[in-house]
């Protein structure tokens, strides 16, 4: 009696169907995963653009309120002061709410000085009006390489007189800083705003506790 050994040289139908199913799931899943990764990357870039705009806003707020808040000729190392807008006392140079102390806020000694015209002046960068208001790219973006960002993001800064609380825009006592972040399609991503007021500066180093 002769016995033959049968060698298994092929897939069964069930194994073949299972393999086809696995490949089908893979082909469907890979584009979804790639799309999800691309969206996650773009979301990260948008967050970075918002953080960059926030840094721009904080930088603008670090400058003096107005070109005329400090007389650089007679008092170049002094404190910025309140510009007279109608409520500074002629004798004490204080306005309502000011503290009668040497190093606290007070009005300029000359009540004939008014706020400067909005916009850059004489080439120096020392007050809020001097901020570059042109549209600027927020990231280096080389679209000719694979490392370039998917979209370009730009920021625009606007400086205007604003109204807040009991302060009217016509009093020129409040400036509104607006930073708009947009993409390369011109769509607005976010808008950041902050007010800064004509309240002068206090010398923190003179405080005692």
How many domains are there within the chain?
1
Choose the weakest-confidence range: 33-47, 121-135, 155-169: 33-47
Strand order across the 136-137 sheet = 136-137, 153-161, 174-183, 188-197
**Where does the pLDDT of residue 146 fall: very low under 50, low under 70, confident under 90, or very high at 90 and above?**
very low
> Which pLDDT score is estimated for 153?
87
The residue ranking higher by pLDDT, 150 or 147, is 150
Mean pLDDT value across residues 131-150: 67
Report yes or no on 165 lying in a domain: yes
**Where does the pLDDT of residue 169 fall: very low under 50, low under 70, confident under 90, or very high at 90 and above?**
confident
Report yes or no on 7 lying in a domain: no
Mean pLDDT value across residues 189-205: 86
Report the share of the chain in percent with pLDDT over 90: 13
Q: How far is CA 173 from CA 22, 165, 184, 200, in A?
A: 69, 12, 35, 11
**Torsion angle defined by CA atoms of residues 121, 122, 126 and 129, in that order, rounded to the nearest 10 degrees:** 10
> Which pLDDT score is estimated for 191?
94
* pLDDT, the chain, mean: 79
Report yes or no on 74 lying in a domain: yes
> Which pLDDT score is estimated for 30?
66
Per-residue pLDDT tens digits for 83-95: 988 888 888 888 8
Note the pTM of the prediction, 2 decimals: 0.71
Report yes or no on 133 lying in a domain: yes
Report residue 119 as tokens: 């916009």
Report residue 155 as tokens: 């920021």
Domain assignment of residue 144, given as a range:
13-206
> Which pLDDT score is estimated for 178?
94
Report yes or no on 2 lying in a domain: no
């Amino acid at each position: 009696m002769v016995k033959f050994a049968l060698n298994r040289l092929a897939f069964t139908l069930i194994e073949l169907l299972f393999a086809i199913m696995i490949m089908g799931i893979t082909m469907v899943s890979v584009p979804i995963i790639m799309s999800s990764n691309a969206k996650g990357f773009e979301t990260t870039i948008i967050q970075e653009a918002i953080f960059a705009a926030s840094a721009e806003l904080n930088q603008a707020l670090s400058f003096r309120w107005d070109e005329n808040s400090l007389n650089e000729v007679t008092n170049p190392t002094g404190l910025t002061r309140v510009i007279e807008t109608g409520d500074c006392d002629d004798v004490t140079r204080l306005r309502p709410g000011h503290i009668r102390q040497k190093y606290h806020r007070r009005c300029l000694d000359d009540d004939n000085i008014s706020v400067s015209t909005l916009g850059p002046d004489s080439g120096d960068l020392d007050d809020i009006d001097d901020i570059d208001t042109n549209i600027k790219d927020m990231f280096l973006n080389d679209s000719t390489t694979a490392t370039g960002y998917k979209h370009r993001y730009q920021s625009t800064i606007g400086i205007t007189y604003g109204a807040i609380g009991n302060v009217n825009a016509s009093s020129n006592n409040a400036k509104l800083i607006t930073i708009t972040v947009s993409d390369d399609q011109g769509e607005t991503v976010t808008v950041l705003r902050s007010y800064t007021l004509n309240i002068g500066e206090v010398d923190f180093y003179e405080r005692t506790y």
